[in-house]
Amino acid sequence: MAGAFFLLLFFLGWWCYLKKRKLRQEEERQKRDEEYFVELMASESFNGSTNLESNGKNGSRLMVFSYASILAATHDFASENKLGEGGFGPVYKGKLSDEREIAIKRLSRTSEQGLVEFKNELILIAKLQHTNLVRVLGCCIRGEEKMLIYEYMANKSLDFFIFDEAKRALLDWPRRWNIIEGVAQGLLYLHKYSRTRIIHRDLKASNVLLDECMNPKISDFGMARIFKQNETEAITKRVVGTYGYMSPEYAMEGTFSVKSDVFSFGVLTLEIVSGRRNTSFLYLDKTVNLIGYAWELWQRGDALEFEDPTLADTCVVYQLLRTIHVALLCVQENAIDRPVMSDVISMLINDTMLLPTPKRPAFFIGTSASMSTSVENQLDDCSINKMTITEMEAR
């Protein structure tokens, strides 16, 4: 009897020892992860403007969240908390112990977007402060698990509304106009007023998030590139981006600049006005894409036919026509003909400002020639299913 009692005590003591050792190992791992991220950020020239801190402290600085806190916030990444999935990996909604709602972008282990882009996005967003850019709260790393923690956007992304037959009726013209202007202001900040000039390179409807008031915030900076002060354009051997939004010089030659983002903005604006994807005509056996359709209507003087029917009586006609006109200026074939974002905003807001006549847009023929030969045949790195495709490259 006494032997059994001592044996029970031994196993109980051994169990407590193992539990304490596991807890100590977990704490050491979390400490190593935090130290790793501090070193990682320091190596990327933060210039002392941004610091990492352990979670639990409020403020504008980035936080390193513990893996346990993320598991608790998402209920162990429960399927009902999954908001969506992109090239980076799945995105989950979570609620912290202090009741703050967050969005967690979890790097998929099979994702082509690796640690380089993870660092790129964290570093870039940490430096950016603008009402039309999504705010990153911090990060979490545990072994192979890598996550970015964002402010939660109650109304998900723009594509959730604009391409849905029922939901896009909720976006009347004033809301759509506000979204167009907000995205334009966000791009202007990236191109001109942030501390470093940034080219987003993957602007699209799914990368425009909407807050509780339907205000837009540009997200997903994993593809973004920083330009030097005197740099106006760059060339890459590996093109990254999404089919339908890439400018011709970028898709065919790998050349990108602020005008590449302007082109993407033009495509996005046409989608917001019409409620249709740029590639929607590809599935209807048409000879033109959305850009070509808008161009043909404009040339015939029938641009009002481009309007999304769900806008009904909320549309301000002169404003809508002006918006289509500006969008066509943004998608012109030659980059030199496209306006910069400061001019885009002036043309959108200033009703008395005379607008130049847009020239032939890029990819005008659409499925049969320009789109297929310039993108599909020459480059295999473009996505045709709204997902971002990435090839790692040194910066």
Which member of 33, 98, 159, 202 is catalytic?
202
* Interaxial angle between packed helices 258-274 and 290-300, expressed in degrees from 0 to 180 and rounded to the nearest 10: 70
What would the two tokens of residue 106 be? 């979890």
Alpha-carbon gap, residue 256 to 263, rounded angstroms = 11
Instruction: Let me know if 202 is a catalytic residue.
Output: yes
Helix and strand counts by DSSP (H, E) for the chain: 11, 13
- Distant-in-sequence, close-in-space partners of 158: CB < 8 Å, separation ≥ 6: 179, 205, 206, 208, 209, 210, 216, 272
Q: Is the dihedral of CA 62, 64, 69, 71 positive or negative?
A: positive
What is the distance between the alpha carbons of residues 289 and 46, in angstroms, rounded to a whole number? 43
- The phi and psi torsions of 68 (rounded to 5 degrees) equal -60, -40
Whether 76 and 67 have beta carbons less than 8 Å apart is answered as no
Stretch (H or E) spanning 379: none
Alpha-carbon separation of residue 228 from 28, 42, 82, 346 (angstroms): 39, 20, 38, 26
In this structure, is the dihedral angle defined by the CA atoms of residues 261, 266, 272 and 276, taken in order, positive or negative?
negative
CB atoms within 10 A of CB 84: 14
Residue 166: Cβ within 10 Å count: 8
Q: From CA 117, how far away is CA 224, in angstroms rounded?
A: 9
Q: What angle do CA 347, 350, 351 make, to 5 degrees?
A: 100
φ/ψ of residue 282, rounded to 5: -65, -25
Q: Which H helix or E strand runs over 31?
A: helix 2-42
Active site amino acids: 202
